[in-house]
């Protein structure tokens, strides 16, 4: 049983799709990841700590709770998957990917070929770079594959 | 399932309250922490090793058993919560908080706003600083929150 | 004497300006950083290994030599500064910043306030976030300041 | 040649005295430590970042630059000395002491006997606990003593 | 219950034999290891990523997925066994063995005496060097042996 | 549930007594330790590898299997207890104790007061030093004690 | 100034050539590496410890001194270069390469293209793989290259 | 230039002899080690802290300063040599040897063959075991030997 952290953009339901595909393959995987409700993620600081003096401080407050969640769940993971998409080029996904590498946890990078240039250094540090969720699932399945 | 070490003052029953609140929220948490019986904590050295030559040595003996307990249980934890209160400004709570940070375990600091000045360096190293137990529970709940 | 790695965008001469300012302040600092000649950085793979079969592989080859340089010099550094600008939102700068944090090297983040939202998680992990090079220099100078 | 970080209270000139005594003994020591100008230490956040919205944020800003200085210089140290006094019971000194221990750097604790009870857990984790600066210097001298 | 990674050559069914012997001894062991289907191992890169431009790149692609599997499963292991045989002198087995040692995981090396010279440095770093699978099983059994 | 490694002399049945006492107290402990059958421990090298050329090599062979067992089981432990007695002053017990300390696992040292002088440096590094098995059990019980 | 460990085969004078080329380029490099005198390397055990009972023990004795040298010098290095050649397919070179990777020291692998298949897993873990000494030197020079 | 910690018994002038031999060989070595004046080592606690209540506490006080010296100097070392002799079978030498191993610093063990049995586990963990100081010096010289 492996725990997989699903880093990357939170603007569509790719994690839901990914989990369903993994479930169909009956892989012994548990998935964790960041808050996917974008508004909740942006507002969590003020929701817990109350109104902040300005937008920078609202962001800072939110990021503390988001980083708490990420740090706890990344520490628990055996593999990290980071998905980058055409539209959402989040720096915090790059941070999560680099943190995984520095912690010696293997990283699977999913990105469209069109992003190969700006992601080349992260790709080179990833254990595996693929273009689709299905390829990432094949990589995970290969870990468990009997002979 | 996460294990949470409850560091901080041991002069009231805040840990009991905290556990009850967590239980009401049905969070998958296990709590550990220091000896909360203050007399037992102060006397444990002499209770196990016998009468010591003077008060400093009585304290030294007690601190060994208290540190044994803390080290074992802190090593087992995923998150550390440290509560500081108006009346009890324990240095050993600061030590537990700093140890958690150095071990790369996320720290949630609970302190009244009135203590912001003397606790500013610890607060800045904590992953999250809040003022109430309810806010700390919201932070823990956020780790498990589904989307 | 401290060694400072200057991560971040390589599209203008900010490192040259930064070094001149540091020199004027007579701070005991040595600076290292990535290849700043953008073409050289993009072509280094083919320049050493020869023509690659396609652009993705050209990028992969280049990134290997860029990562070699970064890894060696980051390992030698005491402090990392990462500068993000309006125009160039490089993921590899985020990776360098996160790597520094994971290696427990303090990070000074320089970014315009306009970027506070997308950089909020990295900012929260940085030891210090400032908006200008002069502020970053003041932070470095503060380390050496006599009383 | 060893580097010694002088943690602890910053309300009198004990570091100046300590350095003079070490110098008189011709010990091969370099000393580093926190900002000792209390006002400068409290205001450094606003001096670099400008006026903050409220006192808590002023403190938070200051603590970032103080922690930057501490982290860089503590990383460079071979031994840490923490002095606690009757009047100034700073939590951040306890944090620095605990950080040294967690980094496996030996700690010399200086405290008056009257503080033995509240400092007992830190004292037990310190490599050595003494009551005076002269005793701490004897401990440092012992490291270099020829036979 | 211990997890044992079975590194080494993949050209015969020694792992199957080893697991059967362990099972007969009722040792509380779980076994993991590399892909043993040689063709699958060589082709996995192209099977997931598609046709590569040349044989070197085909190999590079395959090695990424093989290394992903190894890294995940080696991280999970308590003991590593590496078997070297007369015919198959794989460098990647030496790499797996050395990685185990560097991660402070004990290594049991199985090799025929005829290979003692080229394997002498690895043998010296292994916790135990034996010549047969039965001896390696005795070593594992000894860990659990009651008195 | 904690795992406790019982290091120290193997010339009487103190481990059996210790486990029975722990069992009577219903402490949630699992015990591991070295081979206690002295002949088996001395001969294990030749029993697995066959007759060795001389007594030094017989010892070297035995020590490899004993160290394999110790390394695997010590890695799994949360606490280490090392018992030293009047008659058996084993250096390997000192090695196990020091290894535990270096791995940041808390050590409980049991030794008669008569051995205080030769064991003073190890005692000072131990988390707790006691004179009897009952005191060590009280120390373990204190970790679990409710308030 | 960087220290470079030159791992790999010791059957020709490639290290001498490499150092001369580096010297001609005036790179600020210090080189270390294994004993290159093959006979000395094979006999060092008996030269220091005296005649051993059999060839396996002669090898074991030699490997201890060779590993001592490698461990000390590898610990001091910033970069490791491993050269593999057609004729000499040493497992200990693979071990040195893997040890460098596990210690997070960047590895430059030099191997003829003809060896790409058996070295594919090590190549994939290396920071850079090249085919000639000149390419490896260009990689080292790139680390120091000004803009 | 390497730093060598000379652990082991302090009852004769073997360190002086060893340094003279190293000096005659012009090896680039710096030596550090424990206090060799036995009385000074036993009394250092009371000399700095004053009269202690009983002999156990006198020993405990002394051991703190001895361990401070050892920890600082061992941290600075590249290689550790531990000499065990017929007469003085110190447990703290075993502790220093084991600490070196756990810190991944190579250990050279010097012991007469007559002690092979009680030292077999430490010997097996040492990088090299020899019987004389001259052999240990040859091992150190081999690290620097040109080809």
Q: Which of D138, D58, G29, F130 is nearest to H69 (CA)?
A: D138
Adjacent-strand bridge partners of H8: H83
The pLDDT assigned to E135 comes to 98
Mean pLDDT of chain G: 94
In this structure, is the dihedral angle defined by the CA atoms of residues B57, B62, B65 and B67, taken in order, positive or negative?
negative
Asked if D139 and H65 come within 8 Å (Cβ–Cβ), the reply is yes
The pLDDT assigned to E65 comes to 97
Structure tokens at H62: 């002394």
Please name the residue of chain H whose CA is at the shortest distance from the CA of residue G75: H78
Q: Of B2, B78, B130, which has the smallest distance from its Cβ to A48's Cβ?
A: B130
Contact status of E65 with chain A (Cβ, < 8 Å): yes
Contact status of C54 with chain E (Cβ, < 8 Å): yes
Cβ B46 vs Cβ B56: under 8 Å = no
Write b or e for each residue in E12-44: b if 16 or more Cβ atoms lie within 10 A of its Cβ, otherwise e. Answer: eebbeebbeebeeeebebebbbbbbeeebbbeb
Interface mutation vs chain G, best among F57, F58, F60, F64, most G CBs within 10 Å:
F57
Structure tokens at B25: 């929220």
Average pLDDT over residues H80-87: 91
How many alpha carbons lie under 13 Å from residue D29 in its C-beta half-sphere?
27
pLDDT per residue over A45-100, tens digit each? Answer: 999 999 999 999 999 999 999 999 999 999 999 999 999 988 766 899 999 999 99
Other CB atoms within a 10 A radius of the CB of residue G69 amount to 24
Contact status of H114 with chain B (Cβ, < 8 Å): no
Asked if E76 and A79 come within 8 Å (Cβ–Cβ), the reply is no
Average pLDDT over residues E98-123: 94
- Which chains have at least 3 CB atom pairs separated by less than 8 Å from chain B? A, D, F, H
Contact status of G143 with chain C (Cβ, < 8 Å): yes
The pLDDT assigned to D9 comes to 87
Q: Which of B29-38, C23-32, D9-18 has the lowest mean pLDDT?
A: D9-18
The pLDDT assigned to G142 comes to 98
Structure tokens at H23: 């000096």
The pLDDT assigned to D26 comes to 95
Q: Do chains A and E touch, with touching meaning 3 or more CB–CB pairs less than 8 Å apart?
A: yes
The pLDDT assigned to G147 comes to 64
pLDDT per residue over G82-108, tens digit each? Answer: 999 887 668 999 999 999 999 999 999
Asked if C35 and G145 come within 8 Å (Cβ–Cβ), the reply is yes
Whether F89 has a pLDDT exceeding 80, the answer reads no
Q: What value, to the nearest 5°, has the Cα angle with vertex A14 and ends A8 and A16?
A: 120
Asked if A64 and B147 come within 8 Å (Cβ–Cβ), the reply is no
- Chain C positions in Cβ-Cβ contact with residue E54 (cut-off 8 Å): 53
Average pLDDT over residues D123-134: 97
Strand ranges for B60-134 from DSSP E: 79-83, 107-110, 128-130
Residue that the structure tokens 């375990």 belong to? B105
Contact status of C132 with chain D (Cβ, < 8 Å): no
Average pLDDT over residues E101-111: 95
Contact status of E113 with chain F (Cβ, < 8 Å): no
The pLDDT assigned to F134 comes to 97
At residue B90 the predicted structure's pLDDT band, cuts being 50, 70 and 90, is confident
Q: What are the DSSP calls for chain F, one per residue?
A: -EEEEEEE--SSSHHHHHHHHHHHTT--EEEE-----HHHHHHHHHHHH---SSHHHHHHHHHHHHHHHHHHHHHT-SEEEEE--SS---HHHHHHHHHHHHTT--EEEE--GGGTTTTHHHHHHSSEEESSHHHHHHHHHHHH---
pLDDT per residue over F92-107, tens digit each? Answer: 999 999 999 999 999 9
Distance CA H106, CA D112 (A): 41
Q: Which of C138, C141, C135 is nearest to C112 (CA)?
A: C135
CATH fold for the domain made of A14-30+78-147: Rossmann fold (3.40.50)
Q: What is the pTM of this model?
A: 0.96
Q: Do chains A and B touch, with touching meaning 3 or more CB–CB pairs less than 8 Å apart?
A: yes
The pLDDT assigned to A146 comes to 85
3-state DSSP call for residue A45?
helix
The pLDDT assigned to C44 comes to 97
- Chain E positions in Cβ-Cβ contact with residue F76 (cut-off 8 Å): 78
The pLDDT assigned to E46 comes to 98
- Chain F positions in Cβ-Cβ contact with residue B69 (cut-off 8 Å): 142-143
Average pLDDT over residues E53-63: 95
Cα separations in angstroms, E100 against E125, G99, G101, G102:
10, 9, 12, 9
The pLDDT assigned to B10 comes to 86
Give H97 to chain G, closest Cα distance, Å.
15
Whether C88 has a pLDDT exceeding 70, the answer reads no
Q: Of B106, B130, B145, which has the smallest distance from its Cβ to A35's Cβ?
A: B145
Instruction: Give the ipTM of the model, two decimals please.
Output: 0.94
pLDDT per residue over E2-33, tens digit each? Answer: 999 999 988 889 999 999 999 999 999 999 99
Tell me which H or E stretch contains A64. helix A55-75
Tell me which H or E stretch contains C56. helix C55-75
At residue D19 the predicted structure's pLDDT band, cuts being 50, 70 and 90, is very high
Average pLDDT over residues D7-35: 94
Whether E90 has a pLDDT exceeding 90, the answer reads no
Quote the DSSP letter at residue D118: T
Residue C88 vs residue E78, higher pLDDT: E78
Mean pLDDT of chain F: 94
- Chain C positions in Cβ-Cβ contact with residue D40 (cut-off 8 Å): 145, 147
Sequence ranges of the domains in chain A: 14-30+78-147, 33-76
Q: How far apart are the first and last CA of chain C?
A: 18
At residue F138 the predicted structure's pLDDT band, cuts being 50, 70 and 90, is very high
pLDDT per residue over D57-109, tens digit each? Answer: 999 999 999 999 999 999 999 999 999 988 766 899 999 999 999 999 999 99
The pLDDT assigned to A88 comes to 67
Asked if A104 and E47 come within 8 Å (Cβ–Cβ), the reply is no
Cβ A48 vs Cβ A92: under 8 Å = no
The pLDDT assigned to A147 comes to 64
Contact status of B104 with chain D (Cβ, < 8 Å): no
Write b or e for each residue in A26-51: b if 16 or more Cβ atoms lie within 10 A of its Cβ, otherwise e. Answer: ebebebbbbbbeeebbbebbeebbee
Q: Which of H14, H4, H1, H3 is nearest to H84 (CA)?
A: H14
At residue H90 the predicted structure's pLDDT band, cuts being 50, 70 and 90, is confident
Distance CA D42, CA D35 (A): 10
φ/ψ of residue E21, rounded to 5: -65, -45
- Chain H positions in Cβ-Cβ contact with residue D145 (cut-off 8 Å): 35, 40
At residue G46 the predicted structure's pLDDT band, cuts being 50, 70 and 90, is very high
Cβ E103 vs Cβ E74: under 8 Å = yes
Cβ within 8 Å of residue C3, ≥6 positions away: C29, C30, C31, C32, C76, C77, C78, C79
Give B61 to chain A, closest Cα distance, Å.
35
Q: Of E106, E138, E145, which has the smallest distance from its Cβ to F71's Cβ?
A: E106
In what order do the strands lie in the sheet containing A79-83?
A29-32, A2-8, A79-83, A107-110, A128-130
Q: Which of A16-25, B4-13, G131-140 has the lowest mean pLDDT?
A: B4-13
Residue D9 vs residue H4, higher pLDDT: H4
Whether F66 has a pLDDT exceeding 90, the answer reads yes
Distance CA B40, CA E33 (A): 51
Q: Of H35, H36, H65, which has the smallest distance from its Cβ to D128's Cβ?
A: H65
> Cα–chain-centroid distance for residue B64?
17
């Amino acid at each position: 049983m492996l725990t997989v952290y699903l880093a990357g953009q939170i603007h569509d339901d790719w994690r839901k799709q990914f989990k369903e595909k993994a479930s169909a393959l009956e892989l012994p995987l548990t998935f964790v990841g960041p808050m996917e409700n974008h508004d909740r993620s942006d507002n969590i600081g003020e929701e817990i700590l109350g109104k902040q003096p300005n937008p920078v401080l609202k962001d800072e407050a939110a990021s503390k709770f988001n980083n708490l969640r990420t740090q706890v769940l990344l520490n628990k993971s055996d593999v990290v998957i980071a998905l980058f998409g055409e539209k959402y080029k989040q720096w915090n996904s790059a941070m999560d990917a680099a943190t995984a590498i520095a912690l010696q946890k293997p990283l699977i990078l999913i990105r469209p070929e069109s992003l190969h240039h700006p992601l080349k250094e992260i790709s080179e540090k990833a254990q595996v770079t693929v273009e689709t969720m299905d390829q990432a699932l094949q990589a995970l399945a290969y870990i468990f594959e009997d002979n």
